[in-house]
Amino acid sequence: MKNKLILASASPRRVQLLEQVGITPDDIIPADIDETPLKAELPRDLAQRLAIGKAQAIAAQHKDAFILAADTVVGCGRRILDKAEDETYARKCLEQLSGRRHHVYGGIALITPDGKTVKRLVDTVVQFKRLTENDIESYIKSNEWDGKAGGYAIQGLAESYIKFIRGSYSNVVGLSLYDTIQILSGAGFKKD
């Protein structure tokens, strides 16, 4: 019998990534939780807390399914670079990321039909080249930054700015496929 899988996410990128490895969620239910960082919360801790919180919010109404949730947080030192909602903030993010390494933390949480919670934190290190004013302006005009953690989407123009990456590329897109498959299969989820 096929297991029911609910993706607790509003991200079309996470749906595309799962489909890339042959997994189509039975349902997609975005979790409406407060994503405000706690006082002095580190980026890695925020990513994990939000993934677990999203999974728990949806699992409360769907006890018969596997609930998969994730959150991506860009950390530059101890600073959290939020989702860019306007050009000013996107430009500020790009200026901070220019010429330096940063971490993209992917929190993944799975709640099984028997109520067990499995969690994992994925850490990908990314380094941008030193961005020129022209690079930043071109990127702002592309609008690819809109709604993206850290003000960039790796799967577009920003990829041409990346000098170094260590870890999961798909984590930077929005969901580490390797880790997600390991978690799902380890918890007994079976694809068709």
Residue 1 confidence (pLDDT) above 70: no
Mean pLDDT across the chain, nearest whole number?
96
Assigned domain for 192 exists? no
Residue 21 confidence (pLDDT) above 90: yes
Assigned domain for 85 exists? yes
Assigned domain for 102 exists? yes
User: Over pLDDT 90: what percentage of the chain?
Assistant: 95
- Domain enclosing residue 73, as ranges: 5-186
- The verdict on whether 135 is a catalytic residue reads no
Mean pLDDT, rounded, for 89-111: 98
Assigned domain for 176 exists? yes
- For 113: left if phi > 0, alpha if psi spans -120 to 50, otherwise beta; the answer is alpha
CA distances from 124 to 33, 72, 190 (A): 25, 11, 27
Task: Report which of 187, 188, 173 is spatially closest to residue 70, judged by C-alpha positions.
Answer: 173
Task: Report which of 184, 177, 124, 191 is spatially closest to residue 13, judged by C-alpha positions.
Answer: 177
What is the structure's pLDDT at 55?
Answer: 98
CA distances from 136 to 79, 90, 130, 144, 147 (A): 20, 9, 10, 12, 17
pTM higher than 0.85: yes
Looking up residue 83, the CATH number of its domain turns out to be: 3.90.950.10
Mean pLDDT, rounded, for 6-23: 95
Assigned domain for 191 exists? no
Domain count, the chain: 1
Q: Is 145 helix (H, G, I), strand (E, B) or coil?
A: coil
User: Which is catalytic among the residues 45, 71, 135, 179?
Assistant: 71
Whole-angstrom distance, CA of residue 51 vs CA of residue 43: 13
**Tell me: the pLDDT tens digits for 149-188?**
999 999 999 999 999 999 999 999 999 999 999 999 999 9
Residue 26 confidence (pLDDT) above 60: yes
Assigned domain for 41 exists? yes
